[in-house]
Amino acid sequence: MIIKIYSDAVCPWSYGEEKVLRAIDYIYYGKIKFRNIMGGLFSDYRDLLPINMKDQDSEEMANKILYEMWLTGYNFHNMPINKEYPKLLSPIKDSIYPIDIAFVAARLTNEELANKYLRALREATILEGRNTMKSDVQIEIAKEVGLDEKEYINNLENFARDEFLEDRMDSFDHRFTLFPNFVYINKEGKEKILKGYQKLEDLIEFIDENSNNSFKKREIKLSELEILEFIKEYKKVFDAEIYQIFKDKKKVNEILEDLVKSKKIEKNLIGTGIEFKIIK
């Protein structure tokens, strides 16, 4: 089953949806595939400025606008963000499109690794404070996730921009102006659409309804072994992702502390959240 996600690389709600997508991947044993289409959150941050603030245009204002969007999203979904304003936009570099184009280049290079790249790109931008407007940073991330460097650079420089335009036209044809949105095309060629940020339960219902419950689902049991398996599966996870799967925050925190004390996992503060990794 392949579901298209119309999203954006720096959209706060698309970033927050990452914890739900990881939960879906875990629950359905990786059988649900997602293909991300970049809609383009904004081409010029000035379009987001109230009329009475147009004369306050500055690099600081540009990045404050973007950060406030991320902070609003974080306060709802709790996927961690950086504690400082980004340094991505300026009156000269006024669009986030270069970051979307970087993802499109990854998708052209390797469909199988594209979503891994997108997640890494989002974390680098929203959480780690890296300047992902720069092509050298985009290329670094490509190497980090295992993309072929030469092929990625070729796609980034020669093909991704036109492909991104196709993505935007596709999104426009669907009248999507906010992200994310989910589209599944059934066997009869009819589109089934979910608009906006989706809770885990709603996305599970969407998948089950459109697949006639044909996919086996993992039974989630709150235990030390299960939490450890979840962390092992993804190498690095955030507290918000663990809570998404296992629900009971108090019990989850008790188990996580036991795992840290027994040196089975390590715990690191990162931005506004906590990161857990397996100790090798």
206 inside domain: no
Stretch 44-63: mean pLDDT: 79
Structural domain of 257? 224-278
* Nearest of 77, 64, 83, 97 to residue 22 by alpha carbon: 77
200 inside domain: no
Q: For the chain, how many structural domains are there in total?
A: 2
197-236 pLDDT, tens per residue?
999 999 999 999 999 999 999 999 999 999 999 999 999 9
6-17 pLDDT, tens per residue?
999 999 999 999
Quick one: pLDDT band at residue 48, thresholds 50, 70, 90? Answer: confident
109-121 pLDDT, tens per residue?
999 999 999 999 9
19 inside domain: yes
The pLDDT of residue 116: 98
**CATH number, domain at 265?**
1.10.10.10
Within this chain, do residues 90 and 168 fall inside the same structural domain, yes or no?
yes
168 inside domain: yes
| SS3 of residue 159 by DSSP | coil
Contacts of residue 275, Cβ cutoff 8 Å, sequence gap at least 6: 80, 236, 237, 238, 239, 267, 268, 269
Within this chain, do residues 240 and 139 fall inside the same structural domain, yes or no?
no
Q: What is the pTM of this model?
A: 0.96
142 inside domain: yes
The pLDDT of residue 57: 78
Within this chain, do residues 238 and 153 fall inside the same structural domain, yes or no?
no
Within this chain, do residues 64 and 165 fall inside the same structural domain, yes or no?
yes
89 inside domain: yes
pLDDT higher than 80, residue 191: yes
- Taking the C-alpha atoms of residue 183 and residue 219, their distance in angstroms, rounded to an integer, is 26
Quick one: pLDDT band at residue 45, thresholds 50, 70, 90? Answer: confident
